[in-house]
Amino acid sequence: MFTRRSDFEAALARFAGPGRRAVVMTMGALHEGHASLIRAARARVGAEGLVTVTVFVNPLQFGAGEDLDRYPRTLDADLEVAAAAGADIVFAPPVEEVYAGGEPRVRMAAGPMGERYEGASRPGHFDGMLTVVAKLLHLTRPDLAFFGEKDAQQLALIRRMVLDLDFPVEIVGVPTVREDDGLALSSRNRYLSARERSTALALSRALSEGREAGLQAARALHSPASLGSADGAGSPPGAGPARVASPRTVRAAARAVLDAAALLEPPLVLDYVALVDPSDFTEVADDHTGEAVLAVAAKVGDTRLIDNVRLWFGVA
């Protein structure tokens, strides 16, 4: 593990093998979701490649009243998870190493795409996120960078930044890892009481119900033999998501589950449920064809959670 930039850069310089470099950026509190990213990185670069994991709780992406001080810091456990999953180097710098002159005076701006949904709920969050991602891409100099699909808007913005600003790196999205009950893995799950967790399961149920409603609508329009299953089998090559139909039906089915969860004790307090184009995170029209993301965010007690599922509207 390296905490100083100079030591980390020296370690990178010593890597002179023929393999490619990959990075997995984290804020620590590593769990199986992070491990899946590291394993995906190792698989892509192979034994001759270099996999770097960064552990840095970025203060720029926490707004007023958010949980910067509360955010879990478990570095010793993180090192074990990273090593077991196949990381070669862990770079865990303190704030003063990343922002040596204090908070940066020049930052990335997420633009209109970063002001919707998560950006509307957390003003400035995506500017801070893109700033540190850009900085860490420069420091780690990877060929590939791996991010989880659970943070769908974050992934979309990173891809947009890399495209618009010509970063020489491939951004790889890795599917969401879920716990046995369907809850998307998150470091914030540890804050949920048993009753709060029961309510929180409405998020993944809403996504499942929305997807199933879309599949049923597709089956009503087309031969079942031509359709993909709910896990994405039979989707267009390279697309991954399940083939569905009727954005209106998908939205209504998901919303019904979330509305019911608002009546539970403790209640689910919905922030948003949206069916968006992943290229710009705008709501899709009722006649949309192609890929879309059904995304949801809500609070249960004091814990805010997000989740999403990828869908494909239309049948080739």
Split at pLDDT 50, 70, 90, the class of 47 is very high
| CA–CA dist 233, 243 (Å, integer) | 9
Residues 6+ apart with CB under 8 A from 21: 12, 15, 45, 49, 50, 51, 52, 140, 141, 142, 143, 144
Angle formed at CA 179 by CA 175 and CA 180, multiple of 5 degrees: 120
Q: Is residue 232 predicted with pLDDT exceeding 70?
A: no
Q: Supply the pLDDT for residue 315.
A: 56
Q: Which positions are annotated as active-site residues? A: 34
pLDDT at 145 over 50: yes
Give the N- to C-terminal CA distance of the chain in Å, as an integer.
49
CA distance 154 to 228: 27
- pLDDT the model gives residue 223: 56
Packing angle, helices 247-261 and 202-221, rounded to 10? 150
pLDDT tens column, 187-222: 889 999 999 999 999 999 999 999 999 999 998 887
Tell me how crowded residue 271 is: count the other CB atoms within 10 A of its CB.
18
Measured in whole angstroms, how far is the alpha carbon of residue 189 from the centre of its chain? Answer: 15
The pLDDT value recorded for residue 229 is 47
221 vs 128 pLDDT, higher one: 128
Question: 125: helix, coil or strand?
Answer: helix
